[in-house]
Structure 1
């Protein structure tokens, strides 16, 4: 049954409600600082003052570079090792398989804050505090990604994998030549989720790194947010809000682009990952 006018109307209203905050933040970043506070709901003459002041006050380029480095390396590790682990849990039988997979799932119940102190002590013992290793390695192979890949790969017919074995392919050859092409939607969904998690991660980077050289984008933005309380000499409340909206708008663009480009694969991957294996 095709959607009716009423359904399109409801979806349109919901879409407008979700998109309005994004539109307001971006449009307000081009307004004079005083107008953001005194007249927040109307448009005024556009100005680049907020962006110029933000780039002058905040090392946002360093934050972008560090976040990009962490995202590329950490994302590559997630996209390689988690599908391999999911493949093993989905298509192989070995002693203790169910117990081990249950332990992996149990780790999903642990709050992130519970793990921070043990992880920080481990990084300190290894001498990795204030290093890229501390930002990249913890969480690069996580339980949710393994579970996601296991569910996605479990939906692949066993006959397809057996055909690869009959043709003489090794298990790694089957994984790279047979499994990966089939689960591309699931991989795209995992890529989007991993990008969002790494890009928006704040708690662990602010704990593991306390120097400006290794700060990620979210930590850099938090230092600007602190200026709202008057930490920066010569700043006023309205000026800082303008810079904060400008920085938030700049930080928002990469995620919007990634989601728009991969949205079809993301939705297909969500559906594929929901199939019970």
Structure 2
């Protein structure tokens, strides 16, 4: 008796879906591409013929003028300091807190975790005044402490990592305890290697959130010496017109595009290099605990 093998029809490429996705991609990337290209055009051409494309006329004048008129280097330096220290605090303490919520049972566990989730629903503007008064009482206004510590252990990061850690089998932890491993050793030697995709996804999101943060830095760091990159970009037009007498609209637009392009490049490079880890982290964080 001969068994018949059924061959499933090959799935045809969904041309319509691919075309729609390509149109969406073009719609999202078109403004970014225009800004990157226009930053190399003479300032007058950006205003007079914004859609023109003449590589022979490309110049670095907008970038040279921008670096002279705008303290963008100081903004990058301040953002880097905040990114390193605040990011390190988030990446260390948020998984620890999530580990406790996911793998331990203690009195008031659900109540405390619910309170953490409630903070996600509070608008940032509601917390600004109390935080600012607290920073003033501590004497931390216009300091790195004020830029780094508030919000370093983020509620979303705790929730994200709890979802990831909940999927780790308890048998791994029990086996480590039998081998004589301590509780922190279990976290460091057993849990962390397993949740690396989730940590990578959280790392990318943390970097993007800190890098793009504007509301809190502009409130607590009014001093130009402590301004982060996003604050510098927000006051870019004022800096240009203040440092250059007679700066017109075309000059401001050209330097603004140059500064925006410089600020955009690190995030683009980061996402291109870490997109695989970011996607894996998204999938890891979607597991139900």
Aligned 8 A contact 1:85 1:146 in 2 = yes
Corresponding residue for residue 77 of structure 2:
65
Aligned to 2:237: 225
Q: Give the structure 1 partner of residue 52 of structure 2.
A: 42
What TM-score does the superposition give when structure 1 sets the normalisation length? 0.96
Q: Give CA-to-partner distance per residue, 1:125-163, whole Å, 9 cap, x none.
A: 000011000000001001111001101111111112211
Distance apart, 1:262 and its partner CA: 1.0
State whether residues 130 and 208 of structure 1, in contact with CA within 8 Å, keep that contact through their aligned partners in structure 2: yes
SS in 1 for 2:235: helix
Please report how far the alpha carbon of residue 4 of structure 1 lies from its aligned counterpart in structure 2 after TM superposition: 2.7
State the alpha-carbon separation in 1 of the partners of residues 70 and 239 from structure 2: 11
Alignment of 1:256-275 (within 5 A): 256-275=268-287
Tell me, yes or no, if the aligned pair for 2:120 and 2:156 is still in contact at 8 Å.
yes
Distance 2:239 2:260 in 1: 14
Aligned to 1:205: 217
- Please report the TM-score for the alignment, with normalisation by the length of structure 2: 0.92
Q: 1:3 to 1:166 in 2, by over 3 A?
A: farther
Structure 2 equivalent of residue 30 of structure 1: 40
1:90-105 equivalence runs, <5 A: 90-105=102-117
Please state whether the residue corresponding to 1:210 is helix, strand or coil: coil
Mapped contact 2:71–2:232 kept (Cα < 8 A): yes
Query: Could you tell me which residue of structure 2 aligns to residue 160 of structure 1?
Result: 172
Name the residue aligned to 2:18: 8
SS at match of 2:131: helix
Greater than 3 Å deviation, 4+ residue runs? 225-228, 230-233
CA contact (8 A) 1:130 1:211 kept: yes
Match of 1:171 in 2: 183
User: Deviation of residue 97 (structure 1)?
Assistant: 0.2
User: 1:231-261 CA deviation, whole Å, 9 max, x = no partner?
Assistant: 6632100100000000000000111111111
CA deviation digits over 1:194-216, x for unaligned, max 9?
11111011111111011111110
In the alignment, the residues of structure 2 paired with residue 212 and residue 235 of structure 1 have an alpha-carbon distance, to the nearest angstrom, of 21
Q: CA deviation at 1:6?
A: 2.7
Cα displacement (A) at 1:223: 1.3
Q: Structure 2: any 5+ residue segments left out of the alignment?
A: 1-10
Give the number of aligned pairs: 276
Post-superposition CA distance 1:68-101 (Å, at most 9, x none): 0000000000000000000000000000000000
Over 3 Å counting, the alpha-carbon distance change for 1:188 and 1:143 in structure 2 is same
- Cα displacement (A) at 1:3: 4.2
Conservation of the 8 A alpha-carbon contact between 2:69 and 2:239 = no
Contact 1:51/1:246, CA 8 A, preserved across alignment: yes
Structure 1 unpaired stretches of 5+: none
Which residue of structure 2 aligns with residue 134 of structure 1? 146
Q: Which residue of 1 aligns with 2:119?
A: 107
Question: Quick check: 1:89–1:97 contact (8 Å CA) kept in 2?
Answer: yes
Deviations 1:210-234 (A, max 9, x none): 1111110011111113468x66632
Pairwise CA distance, 1:272: 1.2
> Cα RMSD between the aligned structures?
1.4
Q: Is the 8 A contact 1:227 1:240 kept in 2?
A: no
203-212 vs 125-134, greater mean Cα deviation: 203-212
